[in-house]
Amino acid sequence: MRAAGVALSLLLAAACSAPAPPRAEVTASVCAPPQGPAAEETPTTIDVVEQAYFCILGNYVDGPSLDGRTLLTRAFAALTTELDRTGRDVPHASAPALTGDEKADWAAFEAVYRTITDEEDLAVVTLEAMVAALDDNHARWTHDVSRPPGYYDGDGYGLGFQAATYRDQVFVAAVEGGAARAAGLRPGDVIENVTDLRTLRPQYPDADPVELRVGRRTVTLKPGLYQRNLADVQVVRSRLLEGDIAYVRIRGFSPDAANRAFRAIARMRTGRTLQGVVLDLRGNGGGSPAEATRLVSAWAHGGTTSHLCNADDRCEPGRTDDTVELIGLPLVVLTDRGCASACEHFSSAVKDLRVGTLVGTRTAGAISGPAEPHLLRNNTILSFPTRRHLGPDREVVDRIGVPPDHVVPLTPEDAAAGRDPALARALTLLEG
């Protein structure tokens, strides 16, 4: 293992100090968008890893400037870590010398890999690390698309609660069910041993238990299925607030989300004069950019909603859909750190076009660019952006987020008391 570590250190030093030779031509057609219904997944092999490597270099937005050694080094590091962790390490598992020639480097990587293993789980670890090396929040490899046994559309999966942050505190914002409810967690409970909210959002099939320290007790929550309330399942729900203000919550930009919001506002408008609209996008993880564009187009025509740019900074502006009927009512949008991707597309357009007021906290900063799917030979999907997202004013939103016009955070005390200070501020603004 020491020899492998020395070799890897030398490799990293060489990669940082030596200029890369001219890039080998990479064929973009090594992978293609999926066509037709999904076929059954077959085993992941080193040949699938090879396809993914050249697919990224040929199609990823930063592919033209990406050093393939970065992908291979991260992949080999993950491979050897897993070998060591599972007691399968071998003396000859040392990193190959890489020069910066994509094709030659792959040949060297593959030659060493084939002397080490042919086991599927190690190919999976290797490919996952290669995708992680992109450090892109819209790059992912979907290698297990099956649903948990007994899954149905009303189920949630996870720990059963929503978390939020206030200053240095991570706390329970809402309890939905599952392990959190069984453990007796309550809104406002401060979680003392977690600093990264991603720890509290496990994805199937990763089902490792999570140990939380809450007050004077420690609880262990196992991720699993739980039945959510109807209100938590509905993509769009609405109600009329005091003062004839329409409230519409949109949990995700799924197909037809904009039309559902328009219909909800129209129903509440029947027989009364609405004073304004509150769109609650807190916890909205994104979805279709086209739906986000249609929604903002109900408040603005003839405007730019975003820019999509390629590697050499040639950008194509996204425009409002001027076939959407204007609503013509004052707008307040509630945002938080759970508002990501298409939700940030919408929020930045509202802010830059000055068609509404953002209230709450900064958005997630997770909008590198729209992910495009690419089919691999084992019928898994490799997704990543082929263009970068910029806001309407060509500002970078990814990793930064959209700041609200009025910063109104939720505190643990608010959550415990059932208060919603952001909504209260929205009503004050609209009534004023």
**Per-residue pLDDT tens digits for 220-237:** 999 988 876 655 557 899
Q: Quick one: three-class SS letters along the chain?
A: CHHHHHHHHHHHHHHHHCCCCCCCCCCHHHCECCCCCCCCCCCCCHHHHHHHHHHHHHHCCCHHHCCHHHHHHHHHHHHHHHHHHCCCCCCCCCCCCCCCCHHHHHHHHHHHHHHHCCCHHHHHHHHHHHHHCCCCCCCEEECCCCCCCCCCCCEEEECCEEEEEECCEEEEEEECCHHHHHCCCCCCCEECCCCCHHHHCCCCCCCCCEEEEECCEEEEECCEEEECCHHHHCCEEEEEECCCEEEEEECCECCCHHHHHHHHHHHHHCCCCCCEEEEECCCCCCECHHHHHHHHCCCCCCCEEEEEECCCCCEEEEECCCCCCCCCCCEEEEECCCCCCHHHHHHHHHHHHCCCEEEECCCCCCCCCCEEEEECCCCCEEEEECCEEECCCCCCCCCCCCCCCEECCCCHHHHHHCCCHHHHHHHHHHHC
Distances (CA, A) of 83 to 74, 93, 151, 371, 414: 14, 9, 34, 32, 48
Bridge partners (DSSP) of residue 176 are none
Contact partners, residue 108, CB within 8 Å, separation at least 6: 96, 97, 98
pLDDT at 244: 97
pLDDT at 2: 36
pLDDT at 264: 97
Per-residue pLDDT of the chain (432 residues; tens, 9 = 90+): 334 443 433 333 333 334 444 444 555 558 999 998 878 999 999 999 999 999 999 999 999 999 999 999 999 999 999 999 999 999 999 999 999 999 999 999 999 999 999 999 999 999 999 999 999 999 999 875 444 444 444 567 789 998 999 988 999 999 989 999 999 999 999 999 988 777 787 766 556 899 999 988 999 999 988 876 655 557 899 999 999 999 999 999 999 999 999 999 999 999 999 999 999 999 999 999 999 999 999 999 999 999 999 999 899 999 999 999 999 999 999 999 999 999 999 999 999 999 999 999 999 999 999 999 999 999 999 999 999 999 999 999 999 999 999 999 999 999 999 999 999 999 999 997
| Cβ count within 10 A of residue 281 | 30
pLDDT at 83: 97
| Residue with token string 């890489």 | 98
Query: Nearest 5°: phi and psi at 205?
Result: -95, 15
Q: Domains in the chain, ordered, with CATH? A: 2-135 (no CATH), 155-227 (2.30.42), 230-369+387-431 (3.90.226.10)
Record the tokens describing residue 342, joined without a space: 């298409």
